[in-house]
Amino acid sequence: MLACFLPLVLIVLCFPKSSAPARINTGLSLFTVALLVVPVMDAVYVKGVPGLYGAFDVTVAATVLCGVADALVQGGVIGFAGELPARYMQAVVAGTATSGVLVSVLRVITKGVYPQDADGLRKSAILYFVVSIVVMIICIVCYNVADKLPVVIHYKNIKKRAQKAEEDGGMSGSAWRTTLWSIVGRVKWHGIGIALIYAITLSIFPGYITEDVHSEALKDWYPIMLISAYNVFDLVGKSLPAFYFLENANIAVAGSFVRLLFYPLFYGCLHGPSFFRTEIPVTILTCLLGLTNGYLTCILMTLAPKAVPIQHSETAGIVIVLFLVAGLVVGSFVAWFWL
């Protein structure tokens, strides 16, 4: 998360007018390289030998590379979608939720098919990396096709005309910085809502679910089923705006603050009455956590780029992703308190 946050800050402050296609293609390529590193290292260096700390260091470095790639891709794609009509942003956000469901399906399959010993877990990991690399190659192809679609070219031309008019007005570097702060001012409440949504979500999920709750009946399937339930309802939440879109950003931001109630509710599932500590309340709360995360994220991320002129929609999208990643960073630290 930190490796994602810092490059986003640099993009917003230093390279706001850099080429989005270049950033996105570079990020997708870095993702592919990072995903190749671990299985290749496993095949040519680790070879099943435990305790090779050099391999651990390389894996951490690959994770950092993924963070940098995420900053380039996510900031670019959200900004790219922000210039288009609202349904395209809804589709992008729903796509992120679909990836979570895919991961959950893979985990259910690998747990059911492979034995849960060292060899079985190794095979599971190899399957994850193979699927991920294939998905990244598909993403590279699909993005470059999408970038040439008539609808995209149409809105790019509108943006170019707006930018030219702005440049003819004599925007200097200092004027751009003023404009940047104006953009931040217009989307700050959208961003605060997004940051709070993800700080709350990541501080609870998946740490609380994988470390603190247990089921005698479901045993080690319990956290897998809870994570799957969260991902499915996150997808449902991110798909709902296609049927009912909340136009009022203030209500969505208020909803992000109401989600603070999840803290006492989940705490009650650990230390409250015995009924609260059973599978049903925990599952219901996990589903609601995913549903509200998905719906409110989609609403705020769709509305934010529309709060500024089209020539600044991409920058607004990157700023919103910066708020999102800031929330993830905070949530990832707060998550340790469950332990």
56: Cα separation from own chain's centroid: 25
CATH 3.40.50.300 for domain 2-338: no
Give the whole-angstrom CA distance, residue 211 versus residue 339.
7
**Residue 250 is encoded by which pair of tokens?**
């203030």
Residue 226 contacts residue 282 (beta carbons within 8 Å): yes
pLDDT at 269: 83
Domain ranges of the chain: 2-338
pTM summary value: 0.86
pLDDT at 77: 92
Q: How many CB atoms lie within 10 A of CB 158?
A: 13
Tell me whether the omega of the peptide bond preceding residue 281 falls within 30 degrees of 0, making it cis: no
pLDDT at 250: 95
Q: Which residues, other chains included, contact 169 with Cβ-Cβ below 8 Å and sequence gap of 6+?
A: none
pLDDT at 51: 82
pLDDT at 171: 58
Give the whole-angstrom CA distance, residue 339 versus residue 325.
22
Nearest to 283, CA basis, from 199, 195, 194, 205: 205
CA angle 183, 184, 189 (to 5 degrees): 120
Q: Could you tell me the mean pLDDT of each successive run of 10 residues in the chain, 339 residues long?
A: 89 82 94 94 86 90 95 90 91 92 90 86 90 94 93 90 77 68 93 96 82 75 89 95 93 97 89 81 93 96 91 88 92 79
Give the whole-angstrom CA distance, residue 336 versus residue 139.
33
Give the whole-angstrom CA distance, residue 40 versus residue 36.
6
pLDDT at 193: 97
pLDDT at 137: 95
